[in-house]
Amino acid sequence: MVRKRVAILISGRGSNMVALIEAAKDERYPAEIVLVVSSEPDAEGLKRAAGANIRTAIVEHRVFGHDREAFERALQHELVQLRVELVCLAGFMRLLTPWFVRQWEGRLLNIHPALLPEFKGLNTHARALADGVKQHGATVHFVVPEMDSGPIVAQAAVPVHEGDTEATLAARVLEAEHRIYPWALKQVAEGRVRIEGEHCLIDGQPVHKA
Ligand code: GAR
């Protein structure tokens, strides 16, 4: 089996990154993590990646000021150098331009802490609590130019309990994230996922959404 060469893009803690790294330690996993790139030089995830002997790079967005394309060209350079085939955003807190997204069309995944299309954007847990929803969760999707949109590969729902705080709900969702991201990457790396318009088919079947 030829494993797909995967880069993970982070900006912070990197717990989803760790979940992907752990899954890829198994030789039978169809992807290997060849690079972790952080937009933040102090990201905790960088230490965790280095600790797992994964090559790391820093592409600091601030250095490029408002020139988002220059930032992305630097990012692209890192990915091309390492012959990356798939890219996973894992708590990567920069919006990507259509130029970058187009380079990676169908090969760029993101994890979002909500049941998309509900609660796009930031502060998803606080907004879910404020809205009084009974179910919340996480979504892995292909990235398209429009933020937090794009064909869904996997979704997991978690219950919202009475008395939940942002922190307790976030922790419950995070557990689900760590489960579905390695699963979703596996499906994509094995070539089981076909994008049809705005939806994904896995082994020819519609994705079960929460
Ligand atoms: C995760 O909950 C991820 O879903 C979210 O940031 C957190 C990163 O945690 N991503 C977004 O909000 C993207 N808009 P991690 O660094 O421990 O994986």
SS (H, E, C) 77-115: HHHHHCCCCEEEECCCCCCCCHHHHHHCCCCEEEEECCC
CA of 90 to the centre of ligand 1 (A): 6
Question: Residue whose CA is closest, atom 17 of ligand 1?
Answer: 15
pLDDT tens digits along 188-207:
999 999 999 999 999 999 99
pLDDT tens digits along 76-130:
999 999 999 999 999 999 999 999 999 999 999 999 999 999 999 999 999 999 9
CA of 176 to the centre of ligand 1 (A): 12
CA of 118 to the centre of ligand 1 (A): 16
Question: Residue whose CA is closest, atom 7 of ligand 1?
Answer: 91
* Averaged pLDDT for residues 20-34: 98
> Among residues 191, 182, 95, 178, which one has the least CA distance to residue 144?
95
pLDDT tens digits along 44-53:
999 999 999 9
* Averaged pLDDT for residues 147-173: 98
How would DSSP label each residue in 107-175?
SEEEEESS-TTSS-SS-HHHHHHHHT-SEEEEEEEE--SSTT-S-EEEEEEEEPPTT--HHHHHHHHHH
Q: What is the pLDDT of residue 1?
A: 87
In the chain, what are the domains?
A: 1-104 (3.40.50.170), 111-210 (3.40.50.170)
> What's the pTM?
0.98
Pocket lining: 120 vs ligand 1, CB cutoff 6 Å: no
Q: Catalytic annotation on 112? A: yes
CB proximity list for 137: less than 8 A, separation 6 or greater: 114, 115, 155, 156, 157, 158, 173, 176, 210
DSSP helix/strand/coil, 198: coil
Pocket lining: 177 vs ligand 1, CB cutoff 6 Å: yes
For the CA of 173, the nearest atom of ligand 1: 2
Q: What is the pLDDT of residue 153?
A: 98
> Among residues 97, 160, 140, 147, which one has the least CA distance to residue 121?
147
pLDDT tens digits along 51-78:
999 999 999 999 999 999 999 999 999 9
Q: Is the pLDDT of residue 209 over 80?
A: no
